[in-house]
Amino acid sequence: MLLFVWTLINFLTFSTLAWAEPKVFYGKVVGTQFSVIQVRGDDSRVSVFWMGYKTRLGSRVPFFGDRVRIEYIKDSLGRNAVTRITIVGR
């Protein structure tokens, strides 16, 4: 009986875990403020991304007008957390 309950708990725990797969977003930087970056996508929508200490930069921090490729995940607060940002062009 105890083995059944333990197996059930393990199954339910591991079946509800969501593995974080990074998503990719392309766009042009339209605003920055401290660790927040605003990017206009190809569909003219402005999205907000949060950069932190785990963010890997390609060469430098992007400025206004830079075209960027952003890999991001949803963090525990529901924000778009940047894992990698690369400058594609100007």
Nearest 5°: CA angle at 19, between 14 and 23?
A: 165
Average model confidence (pLDDT) for the chain? 86
What domains are defined for the chain?
Answer: 21-89 (2.40.50.320)
Beta strands in the chain (DSSP E): 23-33, 36-41, 46-50, 56-57, 67-74, 80-89
Confidence of residue 4 (pLDDT cuts 50, 70, 90): confident
38-81: pLDDT as tens digits: 999 989 999 999 998 888 888 888 889 999 999 999 887 888 99
80-90: pLDDT as tens digits: 999 999 999 77
Average pLDDT over residues 32-43: 92
Please give the pLDDT value at position 16. 56
> Whole-model pTM above 0.85?
no
